[in-house]
Structure 1
Amino acid sequence: MGLKRFLQLLGLLAGFWFQAQTLHLYGGADQDQYLGCLNCDNFDKNSIWNKFSDYGNVFSSKSIWNPYGNYGSTYSAYSPWNSYASYPPAILDQDGNFFGFLTLNPYKSDRSELELAVILCKHHEEIKSDVGGWYERLFR
């Protein structure tokens, strides 16, 4: 099965569960910086999938897609894309339940095992260049 078909099937299965609860990212040393909604619609102002929002725009300081920002750089201790990050973003649902850390760091305890987190970590470079297209693949 090709990657495209796999992502379509995964989107159908995972999209159902992902939409059942809203997941949010919080970053910083104390996880007190809101970094957006992980599985909100791509038109939602808080969505990491909305390229016009503070959280989905590659130029925003609050975006995990900004390669030069604290939360998107491969060198920042606060970025999910740093393989040695000390303080990667936490994934929480709307009730504050913890779903692990979004991180490439294999040594970080409580690294998220959610399908969506795994996909983001595996494909973050490709996603950065086509946030809207990846939203469509994962959630539609």
Structure 2
Amino acid sequence: MNSKKFLLFLSFLTGCIFHAQTLHLYGGSNQDQYLGCLNCDTFDKDSIWNSFGDFGNILSSKSIWNASGNYGNAYSTYSPWSAYASYPPAIVDQDGNFYGYLTLNPYASEKSKLELAQVLCTYHDSIRKDISGWYGKLFR
């Protein structure tokens, strides 16, 4: 499947599935650091897709998009983008149900199987460069 067809298919899936429950990221060694809302609108202050908020800003210490921060660095033990992360962010819904870890670590025992998590892991470098553009591709 070519990348355009894949993104259209994924857009359909995320629009149907991921708006049903609100998904949040929690990081740190005890998953007690809130890292934002995974599928909230770009205007939501807690959204990882809001470039002006704490969790979507590429310069914020709480953002998975900050390549120099603990939660976005390719070598950090707390980053989803580290293939060796010991403490990647957990994905949970508003009721506290666990959906696995957002991680590139192929050895993580509870790596998330969510389509959205897999897309984020595959395209995180591209997403970081165009957060709002990718939001449009995935959720509209």
Scaled by the length of structure 2, what TM-score is found? 0.98
Distance in 1, matches of 2:85 and 2:125, equals: 17
Question: Does 1:10 pair with 2:10?
Answer: yes
Per-residue CA distance 1:78-118 (angstroms, 9 max, x = gap)? 00000000000000000000000000000011000100000
Distance in 2, matches of 1:13 and 1:80, equals: 22
Name the SS for the 1:60 alignment partner: coil
Segments of structure 1 that go 5 or more residues without pairing to the other structure are: none
Instruction: Show the counterpart of 2:113.
Output: 113
Scaled by the length of structure 1, what TM-score is found? 0.98
How many residue pairs end up in the alignment?
Answer: 140
Instruction: Show the counterpart of 1:132.
Output: 132
Instruction: Show the counterpart of 1:83.
Output: 83
Instruction: Show the counterpart of 2:122.
Output: 122
Name the SS for the 1:14 alignment partner: helix
Distance in 2, matches of 1:70 and 1:6, equals: 31
Instruction: Show the counterpart of 2:36.
Output: 36
Partner amino acid, structure 2, of 1:65 = W
Partner amino acid, structure 2, of 1:33 = Q
Distance in 1, matches of 2:137 and 2:4, equals: 8
Partner amino acid, structure 2, of 1:12 = F
Distance in 2, matches of 1:53 and 1:99, equals: 24
Partner amino acid, structure 1, of 2:75 = Y
Distance in 1, matches of 2:33 and 2:4, equals: 34
Displacement over 2 Å in runs of 4+? none
Partner amino acid, structure 2, of 1:110 = E
Partner amino acid, structure 2, of 1:45 = K
Question: Does 1:99 pair with 2:99?
Answer: yes
Per-residue CA distance 1:24-70 (angstroms, 9 max, x = gap)? 00000000000000000011000000000000000000000000000
Q: RMSD of the TM alignment (CA)?
A: 0.8
Partner amino acid, structure 1, of 2:60 = S
Partner amino acid, structure 2, of 1:39 = N
